[in-house]
Structure 1
Amino acid sequence: MTAPPGLIIFLNGTSSSGKSSIAAELLKILDTTSFHLPVDAFHAMRSKRPIPPEQLQDEIDRAVRGFHRAVAGMAAGGNTVVVDHVLSRPWRLADCLDLFAPEDVVLVGVHCPLPELERRERARGDRGRGLAAQQFARVHTHGVYDVECDTSGDSPSECAWKIKDFLSRRQGSTAFERLLTQRASMPAPAPTGS
């Protein structure tokens, strides 16, 4: 039996931008059974053994590559997956473009001004300060989305409804399909520690 095509609702934004809150709201309102797959959950599953600083980036990259493959597998099984990720390094997007059926991906830009991100980081206290600032200039550099949200002005619920509304009327090429046409200018998917 062949599974029906899955759907990947891919939320991309910096740390503290509101992706997880939007995902939680989406799962309440989507018409089908859906799964929230945040990249942070994969990092949280890592064993607690100490990692030497010079090996940390390689550890993170391997986990992220595995995360991408888990998402692809869930979608290939016919599931609706809400992905919560940070495309702060070019190879991450390139890897996803290689793995995901581009017509089955809705790419959502989750935006928030830097001062608000920094305020949220301080209020949360569970993230390294400055993480959002490190990601801010890089996370949206590819510049192509199906839907965009600004969480400084819209609530997670409002963003979720905006995404659901887009799903009900989407047609034409997806952002992932358009990004594939730009593929020649992207770096190879294998990370090199940069």
Structure 2
Amino acid sequence: MPPPPGQIILINGASSAGKTTLCRALRDALPDTTAGPFLHFSLDFFMFDADVLPRTPGGRVRDWGRIRPQVFDGYYRCLPALLSAGNNLVVDLIIETGAQRDRLRELLAPHDVYLVGLRCPVWELERREAARGDRRAGDAHRDAQTVHTFMPYDLELDCTDAPPHNVARVVSGWTARPAGAVWGRGAE
């Protein structure tokens, strides 16, 4: 008998908003379901952590403009495969366009999706981006202009709130949601 399909919590926000930190804390704080615990799964695993993308001698991703669409679509296709195999996921994303939102919505339509927007003031994004030193200057500002314009959320958070507060809000909102949640029913 196949395992029950997993559930997914998507955290959408600008670069440097704190999505990865929030996802790691959620992974450890969320209660197990019949499908088991939550796994954290991020596009950054491909981009930075696993070092799978081809690089130039200077360290930039080679042919990024050409391979970017297929890398993103491959990552998006991993999500329903992992869910269908019975894995619960907490995922951090930067949904940059309506087309990306539509593709994710199409792929995740059969699954229980809880959509969270992590908002962050531009001044704070720029401060974090500079402190990190591993992102191109201006990416966070660019993301802040568009990332929250494509959809309603089940829950919205402020990145300047203490991480434990935001974790508690997600856990509370997720556990109290109606059964069979669908993509972004509307902000709280």
Q: Which string of whole-angstrom CA distances, capped at 9 and with x for unpartnered residues, describes residues 127-158 of structure 1?
A: 11100111111111123000110011x12221
Alignment of 1:99 onto 2:107 = yes
CA distance in 2, matches of 1:49, 1:124: 21
CA distance in 1, matches of 2:106, 2:120: 28
Partner of 1:28: 28
CA distance in 2, matches of 1:22, 1:30: 12
How big is the shift at 1:172?
6.8
Structure with more helix by fraction: 1
How big is the shift at 1:28?
1.6
Tell me the SS of whatever aligns to 2:129: helix
Partner of 2:45: 41
Seq. identity, %: 33
Gaps spanning 5+ residues in structure 2: where?
Answer: none
Tell me the SS of whatever aligns to 2:53: coil
Partner of 1:16: 16
TM-score of the pair, normalised by structure 1: 0.83
Alignment of 1:128 onto 2:136 = yes
CA distance in 2, matches of 1:80, 1:65: 20
CA distance in 1, matches of 2:120, 2:180: 26
Partner of 2:151: 143
Q: Which amino acid aligns with 2:42?
A: P
Gaps spanning 5+ residues in structure 1: where?
Answer: 180-194
Would you identify which runs of 4 or more consecutive aligned residues in structure 1 move more than 6 Å? 51-54
Q: Which string of whole-angstrom CA distances, capped at 9 and with x for unpartnered residues, describes residues 89-109 of structure 1?
A: 222111111101355000000
2:174 to 162, 167, 172: 167
Aligned pair count reads: 178
Structure 2 contact 112–182 (Cα < 8 Å) conserved: no
TM-score of the pair, normalised by structure 2: 0.86
Partner of 1:187: none
Partner of 1:115: 123
Tell me the SS of whatever aligns to 2:183: helix
CA distance in 1, matches of 2:9, 2:88: 8
Shift in CA distance, 5/60, structure 1 to aligned 2, threshold 3 Å: same
Where in structure 2 are the equivalents of 1:168-183 lying within 5 Å?
Answer: 168-171=175-178, 174=181, 176=183, 178=185
Tell me the SS of whatever aligns to 1:82: strand
Taking only aligned residues, the RMSD between alpha carbons, in angstroms, comes to: 2.3
